[in-house]
Structure 1
Amino acid sequence: MRISHEFAAARAAAQHCQELTAHGMARGPRPEERAALLSAWRRDLARILAEDLSPLLSGDRLEVTVSEPESLSGKAALARIGPIAANALLRVGGLGGASGETALLTFDFATAIALTDRSFGGDGMLTASPPEQLPRSAALLAEEIAAIIAQAITRASLGDEAPPVGAMTSGEVIIRSESAARLKPFDPDAGAVLFTLDIANAEGCEWRCLLAVAADRMERLLPVPGRAQPHSGSRTLRPPASAAAAPFAAIPLPLHVVLAEVDLSLVRLQALTPGECIPLTMGRQVPLMLGDQPIAHGSIGTLEDRMAIRLTRFSAEGTAS
């Protein structure tokens, strides 16, 4: 015996047009939701930077503000940065094995030098005439700050989630160059968003840098609703900046010893000819100089058939520096 049944649908199956389905799947946050997420991202980024940059800048109590984004073309963003600056291409964000997004951070030379001065205990004031070439110490300091900002962007974007080891790509500096266009951070003909980061301390110093992101990548850097956001209690404390630690420890500093000094009149100087002898009086203690600054004194002698200086005392200014 064969028993068969015929089943009929209780009601017609729902049919959705392809346009409606595609629109629903591609829909992101509403404009008001995106504005709220962007505001939270800027607020969290400013708070994290105020905490994380402080040890690098002589322990200053910092106030950081992240401006509203300015929408412009990639070409206009590069023009705003200028042909020469301390630029760093950053990798930021990244979760679940994703490689993250790229962003461009830039300091003008005057700001990079002022921040370096402050990191070594100076006043950190901007100079009116910055050099045409960035000193190595300032370039290293700018890269260190760029790495801190890249990590701060990642934390602001991802919150305090604790994914498995290796699942999150920490913020980092990919490459740096004095030419922002050479880094190719975004398509010059496409849209970009530009943020101004203002950093200030209680002594009245203000430092400014620019953060530029391709417009189509900015959406992926905003925090996901419902994800725990960063808070100061969970951050990793950074040790205070030290001249004996990276990246400054490897910077070569040229020193010289002044054996004797002699005064000559302009008439005598103009009359000098090859073969003349000038008597020198060498003191018992000679200075060891760093530029024009004496950092120590010592006595002259020999060591393994070579002249040498035995250090006997350090100047008060040399010890402090």
Structure 2
Amino acid sequence: MKPQREFLAERPLAEHCAELLRQGPGPDELLPLIKRMGERYARRLSGALAPLLGGEAPMVSCTTPRETTLDSLHQSIASLAANSLMAVGDAKTPMLVSIEAEPMLRIVDRAFGGKGEAPAPLPKAFPMAAELMLSRMETMLADNLSAAVTATAGGARSGQTPELSAIRRDGNLAMLAPFADNTPLAMWTMEVDDGGVLPWLITFAMPFASLARLFGYSDAGVVTMAQSAPRAPADPSSAPFGDVPVSVSAILVDMRISFPTIATLAPGVVLPVAVARQVPLRVGDSTIAYGTVGTMDDRVAVQINQAFADNRSAQ
């Protein structure tokens, strides 16, 4: 049967939404997440590194994240470094962590009772005695990174941040071969100033697919919202609240002195004071608790007698 006229499309062809066809978040979305996460990570690393550096908490800062390649990493990472390949959930989503050899050897020397000195010149490979400390550093860096990422991503991602686990390590980056040569990488460094001549660096690099998964994006690039559930009250010991330092003041003495007395103050003058039985503890202008002054372990201490779950009840 032959039609009498040509068939014409009555409607325009469908055009798919670009957001539905996208393969995943790009560098413009992911690199700013690293910057925000790096600020939290720096605060956590400062405290975590203190026991390894003789008890003094170093100054830690995050550099601006950028795109790079494996060839550029070979140029910036020395022939000997503590290079660890980690998995973001599984081995198909790798992440590289590299610590400069000289500070790593100083940490190893201090762990074995030394003064925290590195040999000069540096050896061509890490000694066997360093393996335990390298493993400890991997665990510490991974745990704190996971916590910083979770605090940055917030509760909008479904589930939890993928677990970070070590796959293998090698002092030579070429032997480790972490990524394909043509893989676009996201890179950032944590700069650690422990009072030495120069700060030292911890370098992080991963493919953008690994970075997307680290921040909770699905393989298709869509952020999956968490299922509706009753929200529990915020836990002050959890991130991000647990990372915020708060200054608390105890008002031991609140006295009134005449201006002539103040004008004649001099060494040797004795001012009689009476410590209140109930000492207020304040955060800013809010009283959060009351306590009694005493001693503990040869130090002045305050035993809490009354605490306010809601500061408004103390007003």
TM-score range, shorter chain: 0.5 to 0.7
Q: Distance in 2 between matches of 1:72 and 1:212?
A: 8
Shifted more, 222-231 versus 126-135: the winner is: 222-231
Q: Deviations over 1:230-271 (max 9, x none)?
A: 337289xxxxxxxxxxxxxxxxxxxxxxxxxxxxxxxxxxxx
Q: How does 1:251-262 map to 2 (within 5 A)?
A: none
Partner of 1:148 in structure 2? 140
Do the aligned partners of 2:162 and 2:213 also contact (CA within 8 Å) in 1?
Answer: no
TM-score (normalised: structure 2): 0.55
| 1:52 lines up with 2:44 in the alignment | no
- Structure 1 partner of 2:203: 210
1:199 partner letter = V
1:137 match: 129
Measure how far apart 1:149 and its partner are.
0.9
Report the CA distance shift for 1:99/1:108 in structure 2 as closer, same or farther (over 3 A): closer
State whether residues 105 and 211 of structure 1, in contact with CA within 8 Å, keep that contact through their aligned partners in structure 2: yes
Q: 2:41 corresponds to which letter in structure 1?
A: L
1:237-276 mapped onto 2 (5 Å cutoff): none
Q: Distance in 2 between matches of 1:172 and 1:30?
A: 25
1:90 to 76, 86, 89: 86
Amino acid paired to 1:158: T
Q: Distance between the aligned counterparts of 1:150 and 1:134, measured in 2?
A: 21
- Equivalence for 1:38: 34
Counterpart position of 1:195: 188
2:95 paired residue among 78, 103, 122:
103
CA distance in 1, matches of 2:65, 2:190: 11
CA distance in 2, matches of 1:79, 1:121: 34
C-alpha separation between the residues in 2 aligned to 1:99 and 1:167? 18
Q: Does 1:17 align with 2:14?
A: yes
The residue aligned with 2:74 is: 78
Structure number, greater radius of gyration: 1
Aligned residue for 1:219?
212
Letter of the 1:50 partner, please give it: S
- CA distance in structure 2 between the aligned counterparts of 1:71 and 1:45, rounded to whole angstroms: 20
1:17/1:58 CA distance change after superposition, 3 Å? farther
Distance 1:206 1:61, change over 3 A: same
The answer to which of 63-72 and 217-226 deviates more is 217-226
CA RMSD between the two structures? 3.9
Percent identity, please: 24
Partner amino acid, structure 1, of 2:176: L
Change (3 A) 1:182 1:133: closer
Report what 2:308 is aligned to: none
Counterpart of 2:107 in structure 1 is 115
Paired AA for residue 69 in structure 2: S
Residue deviations 1:144-179 (CA, integer Å, cap 9, x gap): 1122112222222223989xxx97653222211123
Mapped partners of 1:39, 1:90: distance in 2: 20
Equivalent pair of 2:52/2:107 in contact (CA under 8 Å): no
Report the CA distance between 1:89 and its aligned residue.
0.8
CA contact (8 A) 1:195 1:212 kept: yes
| Distance of 1:206 and 1:123 partners within structure 2 | 18
Amino acid at match of 1:183: L
| 3-state SS in 2 of match to 1:212 | strand
Distance (Å, rounded) in 2 between the aligned partners of 1:156 and 1:122: 32
Give, in whole Å, the separation in 2 of the partners of 1:23 and 1:143. Answer: 42
- Would the aligned equivalents of 1:106 and 1:210 in 2 still touch at CA under 8 Å? yes
The whole-number CA distance in structure 1 between the counterparts of 2:114 and 2:201 is 18
> Once the 2 structures are TM-superposed, how far is the Cα of residue 190 of structure 1 from its aligned partner?
1.7
Alpha-carbon distance, 1:82 to partner: 4.0
Q: 1:175 aligns with which of 163, 168, 173?
A: 168
Task: Tell me what 1:282 maps to.
Answer: none
Distance in 2 of aligned mates of 1:63 and 1:144: 20
Deviation, 1:140, is 2.5
Which residue of the partner structure matches residue 280 of structure 2?
A: none
The offset of 1:195, in angstroms, is 1.8
Provide structure 1 residue ranges, at least 5 long, that are not aligned to the other structure. 1-13, 236-321
> In the TM superposition, what is the alpha-carbon distance from 1:53 to its structure 2 partner?
2.3
SS, match of residue 145 in structure 2: helix
Matched, 1:230 2:239: yes
Q: Secondary structure, in 3 states, of the residue corresponding to 1:159?
A: helix
Letter in 2 for 1:181: A
Supply the distance in 2 between the matched residues of 1:130 and 1:187 (Cα, whole angstroms). Answer: 29
User: Counterparts of 1:17 and 1:212 in 2: how far apart (Å)?
Assistant: 40
